């Protein structure tokens, strides 16, 4: 599983890195960014899905 954030959609609400700090962080402008290459470690799949579900801009994409 991998996660990505569409920077054109992200508005910096912070729900991704607030809810899944092992997967997401913020840049200098407060926009969400993916940590590493976006690979979701075992055991964090649910956190990735919750981050995607809670993104009000639908900026997070998950690929299986």
Tell me the pLDDT tens digit for each residue of 31-52. 999 999 999 999 999 999 999 9
Task: For domain 2-63, give the fold.
Answer: Alpha-Beta Plaits (3.30.70)
Average pLDDT over residues 45-62: 98
Ordered by start, the domain boundaries in the chain are: 2-63
Confidence of residue 4 (pLDDT cuts 50, 70, 90): very high
pLDDT reported for residue 39: 98
C-alpha distances in angstroms, 36 versus 7, 22, 25, 28, 39?
16, 10, 10, 17, 7
């Amino acid at each position: 599983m991998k996660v990505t954030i569409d920077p054109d959609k992200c508005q910096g609400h912070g729900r991704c890195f607030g809810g899944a700090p092992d997967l997401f962080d913020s840049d200098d402008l407060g926009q969400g960014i993916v940590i590493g290459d976006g690979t979701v470690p075992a055991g964090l799949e649910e956190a990735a899905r919750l981050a995607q579900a809670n993104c009000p801009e639908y900026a997070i994409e998950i690929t299986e």
